[in-house]
Amino acid sequence: MATIAPTIMVGGAATIVSVLTLGASDDFVFDSASGQIMVLNNVTAGILSVVIDGADGTIVQVDGLDPIDVSGGFTFDLAVAEVRAIKLGGIREYLQGSITITGADASEAFIVQS
């Protein structure tokens, strides 16, 4: 298990980003105050079914909706050669507790934050 360490964007200049090749299960730390964005790049020959899951996610209340179960994590498919950026603050309900990312084996990932 590897940890995806965020790259901190400083000033208006270009920043070198550390890209990590993911394994079967990897982790990262969510910082709600930093505007983190995770980028996943599927460099494999197949579709990946990605799950980003915080261990403490359960049921969340959303105004105007029925309660939402986030215990199974935030899931999506990543097609061959697809690159997807995820604003982690937008899925914060799924990122409670220790966070793991699975189903993205051999893809590339990085996190940037301000």
> What is the CATH classification number for the domain harbouring 95?
2.60.120
What is the C-alpha R_g of the chain? 14
Domain count across the chain: 1
User: 71: domain range?
Assistant: 6-113
> By the 8 A CB rule, do 91 and 18 touch?
no
Residue 52 has what pLDDT? 98
**What confidence tens digit (pLDDT) does each residue in 26-82 have?**
999 999 999 999 999 999 999 999 999 999 999 998 889 899 999 999 999 999 999
Does residue 99 lie in a domain region? yes
18: number of Cβ within 10 Å: 11
pTM for the model: 0.92
- What's the rounded mean pLDDT across residues 7-35? 92
Does residue 1 lie in a domain region? no
Does residue 22 lie in a domain region? yes
In the three-class reduction of DSSP (H, G, I as helix; E, B as strand; rest coil), residue 44 is classed as: coil
